[in-house]
Structure 1
Amino acid sequence: MRNGLKDLESNQRYTFVGKFTRLGYAEEYNDEDGYYYQPTILFLDVHDDQGHFITDHAWVHYTEPFVQLNELKDGDLVGFSAQVRAYKKGAGINKVTDYELIEIQDVVRKNNVDAQRAGVPSENKPLVGYVMERNRAFYEKAQRNIDEEYAQAYDQWLHPDDYSNATSYSDDGDDDQSGLDPELLAKLKQFSDDNLK
């Protein structure tokens, strides 16, 4: 549990500084979208704006204010304001109360401010793809999912000219862009359907 956050009021905004360490993703759910991936950021050694130690680590959602900093690198010190919220984690009788930082605003890089950084996607799907590609070796070793739909969305963001004639990653339609004979496609689909039952 993050005891330093426990002592902070939930209805106030506080300023923090943390050391960027890596990106990640979490599986989220809502009634409108169902299950989807949310990109996250891990900060270590989080202090308040007075330099008082708050927590050894904090995961926060990788939102637009962080995206505006462009690519983050290990050791970047990032300042931001946030509110504190209690939540339950674990399962069944093992659930415990922990604390997280939400409503992130006022994000600034505190060191390496003059360094030129590559941009990152602002839309969720290519941003998650960016996270998955950046951590591909780690995720493969840890046997964590790399969703190729998200990875392709990032590749499409990175190389838009390569996809100029392709359907957008945000297009959920079933229109075929393969150029194959429709009758052949129908036969292939039927064969596939028959063999997957």
Structure 2
Amino acid sequence: MRRILNSIGSEERHTFQANFGKYGYKRYHDPIRGELYSPTMVVRNLEMVDDPENPQLISDHLWLNLTKGFKDLGLLKEGDRIQFNGRVSEYSKCFIKKDKKDYELTYPSKAQLLTDRNTQKLPDDHQVLIGMIMNLNYKFYNNLGRPLVPYFMDAFAKWQEEQETPLPIKCHKGNEYESSSKYDALDYKEEKNAYDQERQKREDKRLKKQAAGLKLLQTKSDLVDDLISLGKKLKAEAQDESLKEYCYISNSKLSKVLIQHKIEKAKQANIRQALNSEWFHEKFDDQNGKELSPLEQLANKFNQN
């Protein structure tokens, strides 16, 4: 390829056709701005078609900058046939010695999609576009250990949510590689199934504790009465609305009651979950239940302190 491009020269612009391969990015370090990312694309079976009747094969693949003309073609699929004009340019391949010369096609113009189909518009925003590419190539980049920066990937996920017709690209979690900032994790479809399974495991564990706690409470009516009395007292004092699901009884208050009833500490977690059950809430909310008199409330207060 290097010899062919060199022989073409850089004096004139030429017309090329190729099959689209995939999107990518290149990363380079700026002394002031740090790591920078630039969108690219690879084309395959690149041909020069100045003479359409006699196309000249230039390369089996070639990376190009994803310029505005290529972006305006919309979301391309592998195998889409494109055409563009470009000029051969020489550049230094090595970063330090700069002693290796290579050739590329620069300043592409008049980009066309020859494949007859409609495409969806690509993001205009650079941050979102890089995020799109990282999500699109997630498995490939993840296996290679390439950066999947949340700053870009989360931006694309938010952009997707705002579109009437989102791009057919799954959103994933980024990693913290080369990212000095922390970003709020989003809910991604790729991880949703695993998340739901883990949440279900926690819920099953909680329900198991609740069942054990209910079994114990249903055999100890005096304990239930004391817990209901305590909960009503705490509700009247409006101590902590966040404890409403546990009938206003905190762990520390529950512990004192269980000590009085000589209940093992190991069973406290089960009983606490039982306080959150429909069975206990029905008893707690029973309007016919016994309300504490002011004197009983005072006595109960001394007992719990």
The structure carrying a bigger strand percent of its residues is 1
Please give the alpha-carbon distance, in whole angstroms, between the structure 1 residues aligned to 2:126 and 2:145.
23
Please give the alpha-carbon distance, in whole angstroms, between the structure 2 residues aligned to 1:132 and 1:90.
26
Residue 48 and residue 139 in structure 1: after superposition, are their counterparts in 2 closer, same or farther (change >3 A)?
same
Deviations 1:140-193 (A, max 9, x none): 0111111111112212222238xxxxxxxxxxxxxxxxxxxxxxxxxxxxxxxx
Tell me if 1:120 matches 2:125: no
Residue 83 and residue 33 in structure 1: after superposition, are their counterparts in 2 closer, same or farther (change >3 A)?
farther
Query: How far is the alpha carbon of 1:14 from its aligned partner?
Result: 1.0
Question: 1:63 maps to what in 2?
Answer: 67
Please give the alpha-carbon distance, in whole angstroms, between the structure 2 residues aligned to 1:30 and 1:91.
13
Q: Is the 8 A contact 1:40 1:62 kept in 2?
A: yes
Task: Report 1:66-85 matches (<5 A).
Answer: 66-85=70-89
Please give the alpha-carbon distance, in whole angstroms, between the structure 2 residues aligned to 1:106 and 1:128.
23
Question: 1:10 maps to what in 2?
Answer: 10
Query: How far is the alpha carbon of 1:98 from its aligned partner?
Result: 0.8
| Structure 2: tracts of 5 or more residues without a match | 164-305
Residue 108 and residue 97 in structure 1: after superposition, are their counterparts in 2 closer, same or farther (change >3 A)?
same
Deviations 1:3-29 (A, max 9, x none): 221112223211111111111100145
When the two chains are superposed, the root-mean-square deviation of aligned CA atoms in Å is 2.4
Q: Is the 8 A contact 2:92 2:98 kept in 1?
A: no
Where 1:108 maps in the other structure, the secondary structure is strand
Question: 2:100 maps to what in 1?
Answer: 96
Question: 2:20 maps to what in 1?
Answer: 20
Please give the alpha-carbon distance, in whole angstroms, between the structure 2 residues aligned to 1:147 and 1:43.
25
Please give the alpha-carbon distance, in whole angstroms, between the structure 2 residues aligned to 1:31 and 1:104.
29
Query: How far is the alpha carbon of 1:110 from its aligned partner?
Result: 1.4
Query: How far is the alpha carbon of 1:42 from its aligned partner?
Result: 0.3
Q: Is the 8 A contact 1:4 1:53 kept in 2?
A: no
Residue 93 and residue 37 in structure 1: after superposition, are their counterparts in 2 closer, same or farther (change >3 A)?
closer
Deviations 1:107-162 (A, max 9, x none): 00112x2x22222112221111111100001100111111111112212222238x
Query: How far is the alpha carbon of 1:84 from its aligned partner?
Result: 1.2
Where 2:102 maps in the other structure, the secondary structure is strand
Name the TM-score, length of structure 2 as normaliser: 0.49
Question: 2:90 maps to what in 1?
Answer: 86
Please give the alpha-carbon distance, in whole angstroms, between the structure 1 residues aligned to 2:97 and 2:120.
45
Q: Is the 8 A contact 1:64 1:122 kept in 2?
A: no
Query: How far is the alpha carbon of 1:64 from its aligned partner?
Result: 1.2
